[in-house]
Amino acid sequence: MLKNYIKIAYRNLLKNKVYSLINIFGLGVGIACCFLIFNFVQKELSYDTYHANYDRIYRVIHGNTEGDNTIEGKSYDDFWVWGNAPVGPALQNDFPEVDKVVRFSGRADILFMLEEVPYQETGVLFMDSTAFDVFSWKLIHGDPKTVLDAPYKVVLTESTAMKYFGETDVVGRTLDGSASPGRSDAGLYTVSGVMEDVPENSHFDFNLLLSFETFSTNRPFILESWGYVDTYTYLLMDKNTDFEAFQAKLPSFVERVRALDDDIGNYDIAVEKMEDFYLRSEAQRQPGTVGSLPNIYIFSMIGLFILVIAIINFMNLSTARSLERAKEVGIRKSIGADRSSLIYQFLGESGMIVSLAGIVAVLLVALALPIMNDLTGKTFIFNEMLNTKTIPLFIIGLMIVGLLAGSYPALALSSFKPVSILKGVSKTDSKGVALRKGLVVFQFALSISLIVGTLVVYNQMTHLLDRDMGFTDEQMLLIEYNYDFQVNSIMEPIRDRLEDVSGVKNVAFSRSVPGSYFPNAGTGIVNAEGEFVYKDQAIFQVGMDFIEQYDLEMVAGRSYSRDILSDTTQAIVVNEALARQYGYANPADMLGKRFEQWGKEGEVIGIVKDFNFVSLHNEIEPLSLPYEPFASRYVSIKVETENLQETITEVEDIWSEMVPHRPFLYSFLDEDFNNQYEADFRFRKIFTSFSVLAILIACLGLLGLATYTAEQRTKEIGIRKVLGANVASLIAMLSWDFVKLVLIALALAIPVSWWAMDSWLQGFAYRTNISIWIFPLAGILALSVAVFTISFQSLKAALVNPVKSLKSE
């Protein structure tokens, strides 16, 4: 019997080649998309799980709270991961639950010289010697207990060791970091270890580790300063730690800390679990990239939508063609087959189709991996995706899909009454027709929702790129030189030489530029009530020409002037948000008010209009722009658009002449600033790509149904043509039934898609509104695709010779 079932299933596949191909390919694409999205989601959820101590690793987040000092009610988006150095040892001293502490600095760049060749190394961290006790990074060479236990020791990643030395067995070799005199971390570093590259699914990464002893030896005051921010602190907790009980003890710890230092005000801390670092942390100043949990939910839903749409196609085509199998069912029942055996037969047939679709899916996954890697910016390897864990899940998934896709057709076919069928009495099951229409409405509602989502995402990203940020970023060439003392000591001669280049308009120096790293500073200013108060805010240390260079608009007062000597030591310019922070509704009222900041005193001389110096995910923060050119890290060069490459070459020649010890590292500000939106652009690409696939799969099913409907109405079409119906009216008749379903789907999709995309837009401080035109446009696009899909088959049916049509029965 089983052999007979397989033979019949095989014959039906060959007999109905078009429908078989639609079912197999449609399901194959749906399964492949779902599998790819599943792997993407798994990779996002797997961040940091490679650490053996994953469940025991926590980190400290720092902030300032007003009034009640309890965990409940804290706004974690006001907290920073970046904080002070002494908090870790203090926690370890006060709480036996804290097993080990590992601290590391904010990301640094260091200039190394190797065989007279300069390398500006990025991704450098100063890290405690306990790093390899807490984190599960694998050392290829070196002792994990001693690799970071003394000043000027360095651990290289495997790829960094290959870059510098061409091999990994390099313990004892040296890297000369003394090429930047004046920096506290300059010196000769000895390679003490080489480790494997940091796994891709890590919430922060690096190219090399320098010992925290180097950091603390050169700046020992940091270890005791509760108000100096330049350290990340991670904790390895005891295995039996009660996290809630530990949290409950923190307020009393914070009170003791506040008593030690009056200057830290309402300083507060909380702790986060490692499972929250990548996807759930709302704290600012992360040590690396973070993911988006809402995006994970969205991608998961898209994967499910695509699979559901493919399953609906299968069910629709199977039930629509059920009458063609009616006589077979009648004969089988008349010779003794019971309903259960027929159900098993048809479920087996659907299982065969799903198995073939699974093979197609595997082939499509293998072909699509390079595209998937490009879309997501992550590395997916076929052999790693199909492993002992995923293969059983894939097989179970196919079985579930086969059961879902084949259940209704099997139940519908097995319910036919043999007496009626063998007498030739057969009529369309109204319940089956209603179900098919309902499924078409459902899958097109999903498709329209995806079209709306795609339009909203594109609209928001266009809004980000087109928004006036409040500063000039076009044709702004940046040279990054990492605070080099030698460069800052000759910045005026460098500026003069660069401004002599014909393609250069003007030049300015600064520590930060929009979109780059910037520190925060405690600043005391007389507020609107006449009180001298300290508040914390972002700080851009700038040279004399920075404000003019970036076309920042002065809303009150003036910028710095070379003609006023006191501007270099006793003046400060701030933004409107900072004026509001101190209670000034009218920025001009802040002019002349006394300030103190990092040892400098004087008065406020100007207020610039607010500009977006961070991404549009965030509101504009209070910002001060003190004159401090010797803290600079960047040269900003405004260049002409004509002969740009020649200008860059001339600039490089001047740089190489005046700064021979440092490589010429340049970029353009607009590109650097937009890199903040890389994750958003990737989201757009992934969302759009899978949305298009979902719509194509829906249309594939619609094509199959349209073809079958046209076949069923062959005789009707012939009679109508004999009675004078023209081709256009026949196409309209055949298409209208499907167009009505798409219109119903549009009505259902509007509220759902509006709610979903409005929730997504909440992640942007500056967001576009969901325009009403998006919904009719989505409907028009869906209708156009549906009509195009149907019209070809409708046209083919309408053009058939009526004589042939009337002979068809």
pLDDT in tens, 339-395: 777 777 777 777 888 888 899 999 999 999 999 999 888 889 888 787 777 888 888
Distance CA(761)–CA(408), nearest Å, equals: 39
User: How many domains does the structure of the chain reveal?
Assistant: 3
Q: What is the pLDDT of residue 76?
A: 46
Inside any domain, residue 501: yes
Whether the model clears a pTM of 0.85, i.e. scores above it, the answer is no
738 occurs within a structural domain: yes
Tell me which range, 113-117, 283-287, 780-784, is most confidently predicted by mean pLDDT.
283-287
* 473 located within any domain: no
DSSP three-state, residue 37: helix
User: Are both 344 and 223 inside the same structural domain?
Assistant: no
Q: Per-residue pLDDT averaged across 695-714, rounded? A: 71
Of residues 693 and 318, the one with the higher pLDDT is 693
Q: Contacts from 67-72 at CB under 8 Å and sequence distance 24+? A: 69/251, 69/254, 69/255, 69/266, 69/268, 70/251, 71/247, 71/248, 71/250, 71/251, 71/270
In single-letter form, the type of residue at position 688 comes to T
Residues 130 and 160 in one domain: yes
Is there a single domain that holds both residue 104 and residue 143?
yes
Domain C-terminal end among 603, 632, 664: 664
* Residue 490: pLDDT over 70: yes
Alpha carbon 118 to its chain centroid, in Å, reads 34
Query: Could you tell me whether strands 476-480 and 634-639 are parallel, antiparallel, or unpaired per DSSP bridges?
Result: antiparallel
Report, as an integer, the average pLDDT of 420-424. Answer: 55
The residue among 478 and 767 whose pLDDT is bigger is: 478
Task: Answer whether residue 72 shows pLDDT above 50.
Answer: no
Let me know: does 17 contact 677? Beta carbons within 8 Å: no
For residue 589, the tally of other CB atoms under 10 A from its CB is: 15
pLDDT (0 to 100) of residue 634: 96
**pLDDT score for 661:** 87
Q: Is the pLDDT of residue 784 over 70?
A: yes
Q: Report if residue 226 sits inside a domain.
A: yes
In a domain, 471, yes or no: no
The answer on 422 and 501 residing in a single domain is no
> 34 with 77, same domain?
no
> Residues of the chain with pLDDT > 90: what percent?
43
- What is the residue type of 140? I
| 427 and 451 co-located in one domain | yes
Average pLDDT over residues 431-453: 79
Taking the C-alpha atoms of residue 729 and residue 724, their distance in angstroms, rounded to an integer, is 10
Q: Among 639, 664, 689, identify where a domain stops.
A: 664
Instruction: Confirm if 637 and 504 have CB atoms less than 8 A apart.
Output: yes
Residue 713 has pLDDT above 70, yes or no: no
Q: Is the pLDDT of residue 629 over 90?
A: yes
Alpha helices, H only, 535-623? 546-549, 576-581
Choose the final residue of a domain: 664, 699, 731: 664
In a shared domain, residues 19 and 155: no
What pairing do the DSSP bridges indicate for beta strands 153-157 and 188-195? parallel
Residues 6+ apart with CB under 8 A from 240: none
For residue 331, pLDDT over 80 is answered with no
- Is the model more confident about 286 or about 740? 286
Residue 474 lies in a domain: no
> CB of 188 within 8 A of CB of 253?
no
Looking at the domain assignment, is residue 370 inside a domain?
yes
Q: Are residues 492 and 626 in the same domain?
A: yes
Is 691 among the domain residues?
yes
Residue 655 has pLDDT above 50, yes or no: yes
- Asked if 324 and 452 sit in the same domain, the reply is yes
Q: Which domain holds residue 609?
A: 482-664
Query: pLDDT higher for 340 or 569?
Result: 569
Of the pLDDT bands very low, low, confident and very high (cuts 50, 70, 90), residue 1 is low
Computed from CA positions of residues 747, 748, 754, 760, in that sequence, does the dihedral angle turn out positive or negative?
A: negative
Q: What is the pLDDT of residues 512-538, one digit of tens each?
A: 999 998 988 889 999 999 999 988 889
What pLDDT was estimated at residue 351?
80
6 and 110 both lie in a single domain: no
Question: Does residue 265 share a domain with residue 134?
Answer: yes
535 and 426 both lie in a single domain:
no
pLDDT at 341: 72
Amino acid at 804: K
The average confidence (pLDDT) of the chain is 85
Among the listed residues 461, 488, 582, 575, the one whose alpha carbon sits nearest the alpha carbon of residue 533: 582
